[in-house]
Structure 1
Amino acid sequence: MSEKVLPVHVGFIVDGNRRWAKAQGLSAQEGHSAGYEKLREIIIDTIDRGVPYVSAYIFSTENWHRSGPEVKHLMNLVVQMLTRDLHIFVEHGIRLRVAGTRVRLSRRVKKAIDEAEAATKDLTHGTAILSFNYGGHQEIIDAVNTLRKTLSTHKKVTAQIFEQFLYTPDVPPCDLIVRTSGEQRLSNFMLWRSAYSELIFVKKSWPDMTKRDITAILNEYAKRSRRFGG
């Protein structure tokens, strides 16, 4: 019997923390904390199943419009993942990458990102990409601006050249994008890398996700026929 086909890169749009919290009679911050615990579990479990790249959309460039206390709590959770809880990823051999703009980030957050990426750069069990302070439009705009400064104006730009200027140029396209909470849209996630992504929308909120859900998602992906327009 042939082995099940696995995606090379799964992207999770982490959605529903606040709605989950409201249904439980909890604060938005408590919902994000529950979502953070689930994030660690799902990243590790997905990579342990043989998926080499897992990305998670954890803070968008639009999320700055949320309340000050909520934004501060989200920043603290990211720093916690990159510092106090970094050993969990190291023990599992998982490299951490952060994709997003550095605009508006504090010195403390940027330091945590740099140190976590440096500490895990040689780990090979799998790669987790945190899409943090990330927007698909902004990634493309930043790539264009960097490209303009780097390439000769006479050089023809191809897709292969353009990809070299994305936030994490060595990360492959998303084979599969999963969004929780029942919403059915990309919300500015991985716009360049989602051209031929398979999409799966899960009704439950992110904190309710389980390893069984990952099994179901990967089984569903294995049934899909990917023709890439052919």
Structure 2
Amino acid sequence: MMTNLFSIFDPSTSLFNISLNWMSTFLGLLFIHYSFWLIPNRQFIFYNMITTKLHSEFKTLMGPNSLSGSTFIFISLFFFILFNNFLGLFPYIFTSTSHLTLSLSITLSLWLSFMFYGWLNNSQHMFIHMIPQGTPSILMPFMVLIETISNIIRPGTLAIRLMANMVAGHLLLTLLSSTGIMMPNYLIIILILLQILLLTLESAVAIIQSYVISILSTLYSSEVN
């Protein structure tokens, strides 16, 4: 029995007091092993089509000065978050992306790598980027302060966006399902239909959020080149 509504997001388990829920993070590997077959199947063709589309889009966003093969970092990020978001919709599978432990670790490590690379290799470009073109001289200190703050909070906003969207959908599904015990039979059918619609919406949110995180990370990396 739940003692707290948020206990469904608790990563602790009662099996030998070992936190095995985080092992669900690696379940996405089960969907990729088909790509190593000698004869391509429909899943591999579909996976390859998505990868090619993402590569061309990320390459355009990163610009001509991007390093060769750097788009595959963000393609891997997209599939990693997608698998974790989508698998978390199944019963009894822990959603690791609903915790800041995972989402903030990903976004903070990416942001730090962008900052280190940008300030060490393109220091002048990073200084110029802090002051938009055409800014009056009297407003330059304020613009530098605003741009610095907006740059610092980027990893936090990315992580909270992903976590909040995952938690909100799961909480709504949990709240609706907990009311089914007290409902009459004819209302349970309506509740099941609502749950199916919400589950479809959550599937779309899982795909959209992984795409948004990848796109924003790509845009942030293009600013340091």
Give me the TM-score of the superposition, normalised by structure 2.
0.23
More strand by share: 1
More helix by share: 2
Q: Which has the larger radius of gyration?
A: 2
Give me the TM-score of the superposition, normalised by structure 1.
0.23
